[in-house]
Amino acid sequence: MQFKVPQFIEVEDKLFGPFTFRQFIYLAGGAGMIFVLYKTLPFLVAIFLIIPVGLLSFLLVFYKINEKPFIYYLQASISYLISSKLYIWKQRMIKPSKEKDIEHGDIKMTSMIPMASSNKIKDIAWSLDIQEKDKEEGK
Domain parsing of the chain, residue ranges: 14-82, 99-138
Q: What is the DSSP string of 25-40?
A: HHHHHHHHHHHHHHHH
DSSP state of 6: P
CB contact burial 42-79 (16+ within 10 A = b; e otherwise): eeeebeeebeebeebbebbbeeeeeeebbeeeeeeeee
**What value does the mean pLDDT take over residues 34-39?**
95
Does the pLDDT at position 13 exceed 70? Answer: yes
Please tell me the distance from the alpha carbon of residue 132 to that of residue 67, in angstroms, as a whole number.
69
pLDDT at res. 28: 95
CB proximity list for 37: less than 8 A, separation 6 or greater: 46, 49, 50, 53
Please tell me the distance from the alpha carbon of residue 13 to that of residue 49, in angstroms, as a whole number.
32
pLDDT at res. 57: 95
Confidence of residue 14 (pLDDT cuts 50, 70, 90): confident
Nearest to 99 by CA among 107, 108, 90, 91: 108
User: SS3 for 56?
Assistant: helix
pLDDT at res. 52: 95
28 against 122, higher pLDDT:
28
Please tell me the distance from the alpha carbon of residue 26 to that of residue 66, in angstroms, as a whole number.
20
pTM strictly above 0.85: no
pLDDT digits (tens, 9 = 90+) for 70-93: 999 999 999 999 988 888 887 777
Does the pLDDT at position 8 exceed 70? Answer: yes
φ/ψ (deg, to 5) at 116: -105, 125
